């Protein structure tokens, strides 16, 4: 290969690597809101109950853990999601959470009998 061909190949490889990185990074950034909130907003959250063990949904005890219920939560707001810090009050009905992007969430949890039923 001639020196100019090698240089062109390197530029092409670098351009392809940058394009591939952009295809990975840009969608991840697009999911995050462009600016932080300066006031609370209200958003509708859809909650779908889930079982701890979908192969055996009646099983609720796992060692010392008694599973009261789980929810898969969805919302159309770009500020919703990525919650990794959560706390419940002693009654287990008031939830506060902070997302990886810095958004806060306050929610009231409903229990149908003894099981978690909705947020």
Overall pTM surpassing 0.85 (yes/no): no
Q: What is the pLDDT of residues 7-56, one digit of tens each?
A: 655 655 555 555 555 544 444 445 666 666 777 888 888 888 888 888 99
What average pLDDT does the segment 75-98 reach? Answer: 86
**Are residue 20 and residue 62 in the same domain, yes or no?**
no
Is 98 inside a domain boundary?
yes
Lowest-pLDDT range, 30-34, 60-64, 65-69? 30-34
Cβ–Cβ < 8 Å for 117, 49? yes
**Are residue 103 and residue 51 in the same domain, yes or no?**
yes
Lowest-pLDDT range, 16-30, 68-82, 83-97, 98-112? 16-30
The count of structural domains within the chain is: 2
Q: Tokens for 11, please give them.
A: 């530029």
Q: Count other Cβ atoms within 10 Å, centred on residue 70.
A: 13
What percent of the chain clears pLDDT 90, i.e. is strictly above it?
A: 2
Is 97 inside a domain boundary?
yes
Cβ–Cβ < 8 Å for 59, 65? no
**Are residue 76 and residue 114 in the same domain, yes or no?**
yes
**Are residue 54 and residue 6 in the same domain, yes or no?**
no
**Are residue 75 and residue 114 in the same domain, yes or no?**
yes
**Are residue 104 and residue 53 in the same domain, yes or no?**
yes
Is 80 inside a domain boundary?
yes
> Which structural domain, as residue segments, surrounds residue 3?
1-30
């Amino acid at each position: 290969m001639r020196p100019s061909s090698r240089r062109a190949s390197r530029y092409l490889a670098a351009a392809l690597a940058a394009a591939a990185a952009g295809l990975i990074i840009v969608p991840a950034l697009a999911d995050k809101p462009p600016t932080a909130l300066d006031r609370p907003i209200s958003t509708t959250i859809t909650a779908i109950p889930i079982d701890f063990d979908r192969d055996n949904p009646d099983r609720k005890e796992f060692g010392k853990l008694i599973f009261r219920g789980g929810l898969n939560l969805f919302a159309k707001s770009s500020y919703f999601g990525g919650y990794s810090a959560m706390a419940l009050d002693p009654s287990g009905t008031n939830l506060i959470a902070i997302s990886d992007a810095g958004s806060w969430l306050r929610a009231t949890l409903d229990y149908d009998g003894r099981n978690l039923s909705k947020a």
